Amino acid sequence: MSTTIVNLPDQKTATLPKKNYINAEDGIISWLTTGDHKRIAMLYLISITFFFFVGGIFAGLIRLELLTPQPDLVASDTYNKLFSMHGIVMVFLFLVPSVPATIGNFLIPIMIGAKDLAFPKINLLSWYLYMFGAAFIVAAMIMGGVDTGWTFTTPLSTHYVNTHVVTAGLGIFIIGFSSIFTGLNFIVTIHRMRAPGMTWFRMPLFVWSNYAASILMVLGTPVLAITLVLVVLERTIHIGVFDPTLGGDPLLFQHLFWFYSHPAVYIMILPGMGVISEVMSTFSRKRVFGYTAVAFSSVAIALFGFFVWAHHMFIMGVSNYSALVFSLLTMLVAVPSAIKVFNWAFTMQKGSITFETPMLYALAFIGLFTIGGLTGVFLGSLGMDIHLTETYFIVAHFHYVMVGGMLMAFLGGVHFWWPKMVGRMYPESLSKLSAVISFVGFNLTFMPQFILGYLGMPRRYHSYPAEYQVMNVLSTAGATVLGIGFLLPLIYLAWSLKYGAIAGNNPWQATGLEWQIQSPPLTENFVETPIVTQEAYDYEWLAHKTEQEVTTVG
């Protein structure tokens, strides 16, 4: 019995399809003026990968500085700029658009049987807005950087620093619109463009989770945009919204900022959860356990996600009683995540499991997200939060969710759909190795930070007391390993573009509509509009279909 499900066509005779979205038109102009969601997804993929490595370099320098307790590698201002730019680049230029704008953009129309998103030109506009906003942030970096932290805390950002806050703020403001347009496009597409027979409960869970994230993008991002405009106005013409000496309220900024930035956490993680549902099902050869529970838990996270923002402010002098309410709601939002984790685990029960690269990333996600989620409960618990907030504990916690969770899901998703996107496979053993390296490196980097956090080491510290050094050395060592784990995929995926084995339509024998068409797909996705008669993850339907194909050919 074979231990994999990979089913590639005979490499001697196989070729890429003559007509596909990549060779439909030639020239760089055709890419820059395209309305094709798949091409826009690839544009996004290249852009966000670039910014991921930019943010990664900042992270590397931060860890290098923290190798020793003394401030010896860079000056304090430079260090403050490094972590600020690391946060801004990773959150706004990588994590928020990561899965939705690349994998989501590529797959949501195909998964629901549509030719494109509802508004192809707005989709292209999203990418241009993203690049335009990114240009502002790059300009801010080149002119000398920002040192407010990615949180832009007032009155520090409005009165006390003389770095390029306005430029960076405007960049994020513009990128916000890119995010809003993507969300809007997804919502309309999912409501209006589903193929005949594709009911809401036949949609893949990836579509559900992106739908939930889209709602958050559309409703949350405008608040961030307004807040940043207020910061810019306060900085330039001193309007006195946040500054107490002008009659403003500095806590108001915290409320407004976290009203977006907490839901933003779910904008980042929900699409990743969608990837995990697809991957777990495919490599277990089994439908996702408790489909409805998983779908509705996404919606529940989106809904509750809007009512927990003040848990970032428990120590900031909000009333004790409002802290109570927000802590309780935080406990409630933890439950849907727990539901998802158990459903993914039980998806494996009685399956027929193989362990290709995407599955390894998915298993890593489940482990790391469980740690990230449960340590979130520490922080949601009022009295515990007092000691843990603003320390390395919280740094470790959100890296477990964002890197251990979201980035692992993103890499899993890229490896899962890579054969569909480019029509070629990557070297399997090397990619498995890099998944393992990332997992080990990640834990070595961030596990010591939980201990540092409970010891009390504050975040954003350029120098620290000597007794924290051992854990910091371990963390930096882990970051080196992690860096290798992230560089390897870049190299072998680029290699595979030319030299990878031809993937064929459905290398994983997965059930989604995207796997029933050629790889890479046609510009129109489908030759004729599919009529959906089966539920998502119906492996019997797939087996039946494959049999019929064989009989027809034979």
Partner 1 sequence: MHISPVLWQFLIKWLTNSALFPAEASTIAPWADALYFFLLLITIVGLVLVGTLVFGFAIRYRKERNPVATQIEGSTLLEATWTIIPLALFLIVFVWGALLYFRIYNPPANAMNIYVVGKQWMWKAEHPGGQHEINTLHVPIGQPIQLTMISQDVFHSFSIPDFRIKREVIPGRYSTVWFEATTPGTYHIFCTQYCGTKHSGMIGEVTVLTPEDYKKWTESSTSGMSLAQNGERLFASMGCNACHSGNAAARGPSLAGVYGSKLTLTNGSQVLVNEAYLRDAILNPSQHITAGYAPIMPTYQGQISEEGLIDLVEYIKTLQTNFRVHQTLTTSESNQAAPMTPGVVKP
CA angle 413, 417, 420 (to 5 degrees): 170
Distance of alpha carbon 466 from alpha carbon 70, whole angstroms: 8
Binding segment for partner 1 (CB under 8 A), chosen from 133-141, 279-287, 437-445, 489-497, is 279-287
Nearer to partner 1, 218 or 474 (CB): 474
Amino acid identity at 247: G
Using CB under 8 A, pick the residue from 187, 252, 345, 522 that binds partner 1: 345
Query: Does 290 participate in binding partner 1 (rule CB under 8 A)?
Result: yes
Distance of alpha carbon 107 from alpha carbon 40, whole angstroms: 12
- Kindly identify the residues of this chain, within the stretch 248-267, that bind partner 1 according to CB under 8 A: 250-251
DSSP H or E stretch at residue 367: helix 357-380
C-alpha dihedral over 427, 428, 432, 433, to 10 degrees?
-40
Query: Does 339 participate in binding partner 1 (rule CB under 8 A)?
Result: yes
Binding mask 58-77 for partner 1 (x = CB under 8 A): -------------x----xx
Query: Does 322 participate in binding partner 1 (rule CB under 8 A)?
Result: no
What is the end-to-end Cα distance of the chain in Å, rounded? Answer: 25
Nearer to partner 1, 49 or 354 (CB): 354
- Is residue 147 classed as helix, strand or coil in its secondary structure? coil
Closest CA to 13 of 507, 424, 502, 425: 502
Please state the closest distance from residue 383 (CB atom) to partner 1, in A: 2
Using CB under 8 A, pick the residue from 289, 446, 492, 515 that binds partner 1: 289
Please state the closest distance from residue 504 (CB atom) to partner 1, in A: 20
Distance of alpha carbon 98 from alpha carbon 49, whole angstroms: 9
Binding mask 155-174 for partner 1 (x = CB under 8 A): xx--xxx-------------
- Kindly identify the residues of this chain, within the stretch 219-248, that bind partner 1 according to CB under 8 A: 244-245, 247
Please state the closest distance from residue 513 (CB atom) to partner 1, in A: 19
Amino acid identity at 424: R
Exposure letters 78-98 (e unless 16+ CB within 10 A, then b): ebbbbbbbbbbbbbbbbbbbb
Please state the closest distance from residue 126 (CB atom) to partner 1, in A: 32
Closest CA to 287 of 343, 231, 331: 343
Using CB under 8 A, pick the residue from 366, 430, 488, 522 that binds partner 1: 366
- Kindly identify the residues of this chain, within the stretch 442-501, that bind partner 1 according to CB under 8 A: 451, 454-456, 458-471
Ordered alpha helix ranges (H), 426-468: 428-455
DSSP state of 391: B
Distance of alpha carbon 490 from alpha carbon 217, whole angstroms: 29
Using CB under 8 A, pick the residue from 18, 317, 429, 527 that binds partner 1: 317
Using CB under 8 A, pick the residue from 60, 96, 116, 147 that binds partner 1: 147
Please state the closest distance from residue 32 (CB atom) to partner 1, in A: 39
Closest CA to 206 of 284, 103, 285: 103
Token pair of 13 as six digits: 């005779």
- Kindly identify the residues of this chain, within the stretch 368-427, that bind partner 1 according to CB under 8 A: 370-371, 374-375, 377-378, 380-387, 389-391
Binding segment for partner 1 (CB under 8 A), chosen from 109-117, 267-275, 361-369, 499-507, is 361-369
Binding segment for partner 1 (CB under 8 A), chosen from 302-310, 331-339, 410-418, 482-490, is 331-339
Gyration radius of the chain's alpha carbons: 23
Neighbours of 329 (CB within 10 A): 18
Binding segment for partner 1 (CB under 8 A), chosen from 136-144, 181-189, 314-322, 403-411, is 314-322
3-state secondary structure 7-54: CCCCCCCCCCCCCCCCCCCCCHHHHHCCCCHHHHHHHHHHHHHHHHHH
Using CB under 8 A, pick the residue from 121, 342, 494, 549 that binds partner 1: 342
Nearer to partner 1, 377 or 487 (CB): 377
Using CB under 8 A, pick the residue from 95, 341, 396, 408 that binds partner 1: 341
- Kindly identify the residues of this chain, within the stretch 83-112, that bind partner 1 according to CB under 8 A: none
Please state the closest distance from residue 541 (CB atom) to partner 1, in A: 11
Using CB under 8 A, pick the residue from 39, 202, 235, 285 that binds partner 1: 285
Ordered alpha helix ranges (H), 96-153: 105-111, 120-143
Binding mask 185-224 for partner 1 (x = CB under 8 A): ----------------------------------------
Using CB under 8 A as the binding criterion, the count of chain residues that bind partner 1 stands at 100
